[in-house]
Chain A
Amino acid sequence: MLDAFRALLPRLSPKQLIVISGLGAVLGGGAIAPVILLVVLGAMGGTITGPPEQPIAFDHSVHVGKAGIACEFCHRGIPVVGNTATAMSAPVSAAATIPSVEQCMFCHAVVATDSPEVQKIRAAWETGTPIDWVRVHRLPDHVDFVHDPHIRALAETHPSFTTAQICATCHGDVASMTEVEQVRALNMGDCQGCHRENSAPLDCAVCHK
């Protein structure tokens, strides 16, 4: 409930907050105090802000759920783990990576070519312009997140997990999402909570660069 409420509010920088709080103080508090409270709550809400609008209505539930395409077929930066991996996965990369237009065209040169959304892909392919996907998860610049050790660690601690289930630990059930949205806080407390449970490093320099 609180999260949904926070999601409605803008995420502000500390500087903006100070300015707003200062303004509040000057105006005498009383009437404006609840407003400040809302803004502060909103800022504390982290990056959870609901799904952004994407340039093409890409649907994970169709591709993963119905078409049965593996996550690592498209997100090639994730590592090869256990027997869930396909030969497609790149050996290692910090980012999972978003597929290039070319990868969509493997199928969409022939699949659903009469759909207006798919025609956008073809247009991008023909003009050689990349698709400007909007980032859903975005940690601040000073945080160094790497997928590789996480996927490996989760594959080790949960040998029965498929890749999609491993991803679901942090990203939720993407396989059934029409639009990807962030479901887990993935802020410092969240990262450290899981690190503490799994005796993963808690040294500031591991996550901060």
Chain B
Amino acid sequence: MVAAAATLPTDDPHPETDGHRWGMVIDSDKCTGCQACVVACQSENNLALNEENRVIERRAKTWIRIERYWEGEWPNAKARFLPVLCQHCGNAPCETVCPVWATYHNPDGLNVQVYNRCIGTRFCANACPYSVRYFNFWEPEWPSPMDRQLNPDVTVRTKGIVEKCTFCIHRINRTKREADRDGRPVADGEVEPACVQACPTTALVFGDLNDSDSKVSELSNSKRAYSLLDALGTTPAITYLKKVDPSHVDEHEEHGH
């Protein structure tokens, strides 16, 4: 038991990271709501198709979703888009409620879900303020020939367990191993989760927050930076950048900003 405890990194909610703290910056000014990230994620991570019924039952699974908000009244209405995925909180509400340590904080600062450990209490999904944890109510099924294109690097989750965005940890692990083999550090921008890779406007940027020269570090210090539900103190690894609205900018300038 004592030896096993050493392998459970959840004792400390903020374990010392051994070099990396993966994070993302989402520029809402660049997001056009095109859903390319959603599709990329769906196929990369073996998510079953969200048929109409699943959506009506409100049981569709999308590890990343584009939330759409309307601002103003027709005809001057503006659509606002907000991609929401697991925030990989530094202080994650989901981690403390899991009775079996199936979700924990790994040394890279990721919030990890160990599927085979999960017993499906759904406490984590209820505790998550961002609603980004999804319960598998059914065995996943793909119509032929889509069952032939599953990603072998990602487990197909069975009925009865909770799943969520992993920041494409299989890509992170692979890149780290490749860098290790070549005896060099992981370069900035070398790891790209599927959503980041698919984004046509580079609204999503991924990288190491512990590397002060990385693009994510630079962007997350922007004046436009904020985190979702900041007041909850979850310290997300995802930073959002506010929309640059010309009308608002003018207004600010008039007020001397």
**Chain A residues proximal to chain B, CB less than 8 Å:** 79, 92, 140-142, 144, 146, 148-149, 152, 192, 196, 202-206, 208-209
Contact = CB atoms under 8 A, between A and B. Distances in A.
Interface in B168-191: 169-170, 173, 177-178, 180-181
A152 B183 CA distance: 12
B233 interface: no
A205 to B, nearest CB: 5
Interface stretch (B64-72, B150-158, B201-209, B210-218): B150-158
A98 B155 CA distance: 23
A196 B5 CA distance: 13
A92 B177 CA distance: 10
5 contacts: A144-B153, A196-B3, A202-B7, A205-B112, A209-B170
A206 B114 contact: no
Given A92-B178, A146-B177, A192-B7, A205 B106 contact: yes
B170 A203 contact: no
A204 B117 contact: yes
Contact of B110 (A140, A202, A205): A205
Most buried by A among B7, B9, B107: B7
B117 A144 contact: no
A77 to B, nearest CB: 14
Interface string B62-86: 0000000000000000000000000
Contacts of A141: 155-156
Contacts of A79: 181
Given A146-B177, A209-B169, A204 B106 contact: yes
A148 B116 contact: no
Interface string B99-128: 000001011001010111100000000000
